[in-house]
Every structure is written in C-alpha cells, then in structure tokens.
Amino acid sequence: MLPATGIPMAFEADLLSGGCPSPESYTALLARPEYLAMRSHSVAFLELNSPELASYGAKWSVNPLEHWSRRWEYAFSTAVVEQQPATTILDAGSGLTFFPSYLAMKNPNALVTCADIDSSYIRTFGALGGPGQERCQLLITDVSNLAIKDEAYDVTLCISVLEHMPNFPKAARELGRVTRTGGLVCVTFDLDLRPGAGGISLDGARTLLRELGNIGDPHADYEGLLDEVATRKIPVSQKWVKVHDRRERSWADRTKHWLYTNAQLQKLQNLTFFCCTYTRG
C-alpha cells in the first residue's frame, strides 16, 4: 500500500535503519525532494569546481552522486547527521567531493573535517569554492591511524572506504576512538555477495559489524540485515541499477551496456553495499 505521496512506506524505515535498501525504496529515493536538493548542490559544485577537479576525476569519479551506491549512501549519511545537532563532523576517507560542503550547508553551525591519506589533494582542496566549502577543512592522515585526538567529533562518517583498506577492523576502531561518547559513527561499504566482486566478503562484513558493535549501540539488527541482504532474491546491485537506469535512455544508448566481460558481469551481479550507524558508548 502507498501513502498519499505515492512513495512506498518502506522507504523511511530503509533509510533510517540501514542495511541495504529494497529496490522499491532505492527507486523512491530518486524522486524525493531531499535527494533532488542534494543533487542540485552537487551539480552546482561541479559547475563551479570542475577545472580544479579534472586530475582527481581522472583517478576517481568527478561526479560521485551518479555512482549507483553513492546515491543511497550519501542520502543515508545525511539522514544520520540530521538525527542530532553536530558542530564537528568527520568525513573519513573523503576524497574530493561535493558532500562535505553539502553537509556544512545543511548544518550551519558545524565544521566538517575531510580526512584523506593523499597529500596531493591539498592544493586542489584549497581551490574549491561554493556554499558551505568555507567551513570544510582537509586533514592528511590515514583512516586506520587517524592523527586526531580522542572523542573529537560529534558525528564520524566513513562512506565506501573500508573495502579499500587491508585492515578495516583497525580503521573501524579508529572511527570509534575519535567520536565523542554519545556521538554517531556511520559506516557504509561495498559488500561481496560472492567472492571476487571487489567489496568486503560476508565473513569480513560480520567481523566488521562485531568490531563496530564494540564501539557502541547499533541502530538496528545489522547482523540480521546482513543475512537478509545476502539471501535477497533481488539485491540492489550494480546490475539492477543499470537495468533500471536504462529504462530512461534511448535504445542506441542502451546497447553499449550489453557488452560486458565475464569478470564485469560477475561484479555487476554480486556487488552490493551496506550501511550502518552506531551510537558511541
């Protein structure tokens, strides 16, 4: 049953609880005013800063909000920050994106710290502009060994970073250490449904959730949600999103998406993502 807005009732629960959204909730997100406002900020940020981000975009994505999982991960992280007032926010493993300035714009009393290990970002970061950017700062440091004092932040975010780290349990402990008691730790990561897709394995995810559970209280039954995602008949995967997005494109544009190697097909079918939030104890 749909409420008056036409949006599935499951949407709000999916966004706030974490795990991985249902395909219906993912689709609903793209029509939400909150998402459209975030997208408008991203577009304006890129229009202003694209020349400065050219070298970064050659290595990573210059437009991460168009990445299939980031659409939900950024919306989820924004909802987490909105759960309590924050004057200090850490984006751990931030890269160079629109998102810190978006958080600063939405939280006018907050300072957003971007932490990343790549010192080549210093010059580019200093050249970035736009609303909120004046309350963002860059700290060059390793997420698994943060050069930050204990309990420094009200909210700590780590968005799709831990799957790139060989010692993600240690990094998780660091995220908890730098978050104040009663503060929020929000983590999202790529999840392998089968080995070889490029994310954290199911066993690794269970290890990570246990490590995060040592930080404080989970906002949902994440081990149960992980099992649900692993056995879901229709996971929100790159493949599902690409099929969904093709419906909005012409046939000529679609055809190029059929030409995948076996390795690419494996990744498209078996890589999803997972979101979770903990209150630091």
Averaged pLDDT for residues 242-256: 55
Q: What is the pLDDT of residue 113?
A: 98
Residue 133: which of 158, 96, 88 has the closest Cα?
A: 96
User: Could you say which DSSP state residue 154 is in?
Assistant: E
Q: How far apart are CA 141 and CA 115, in angstroms?
A: 6
Considering only 51-55, 125-129, 148-152, 255-259, which range has the smallest mean pLDDT?
255-259
In sequence order, the 6+-apart residues with CB closer than 8 A to the CB of 27 are: 244
Quote the tokens at residue 276: 């979770």
Label residue 270 by pLDDT band (50, 70, 90): confident
Whether 258 shows a pLDDT value over 90: the answer reads no
Over residues 197-218, the pLDDT tens digits come to 889 999 999 999 999 999 999 9
Whether 2 shows a pLDDT value over 70: the answer reads no
Q: What is the pLDDT of residue 244?
A: 76
pTM of the model: 0.90
* Backbone φ, ψ for residue 150 (5° rounding): -60, 145
Angle between helices 10-17 and 68-81 (to 10 degrees): 80
3-state helix, strand, coil in the chain (%, to 5): 50, 20, 35
Averaged pLDDT for residues 39-51: 96
How would you class 108 by CB atoms within 10 Å of its CB: exposed for 0-12, middle for 13-18, buried for 19 or more?
exposed
Over residues 115-171, the pLDDT tens digits come to 999 999 999 999 999 999 999 999 999 999 999 999 999 999 999 999 999 999 999
Averaged pLDDT for residues 233-254: 69
Per cent of the chain over pLDDT 90 is 73
More confident of the two residues 257 and 18: 18
Q: Where are the alpha helices (DSSP H) in the chain?
A: 10-17, 23-29, 33-49, 54-59, 68-81, 99-106, 121-127, 168-177, 202-213, 222-231, 238-246, 251-254, 262-270
- Asked if 76 and 26 touch (Cβ cutoff 8 Å), the reply is no
Averaged pLDDT for residues 31-53: 95
Characterize the bridge pairing of strands 111-116 and 271-280: unpaired
Whether 32 shows a pLDDT value over 80: the answer reads yes
Averaged pLDDT for residues 186-202: 92
Whether 46 shows a pLDDT value over 70: the answer reads yes
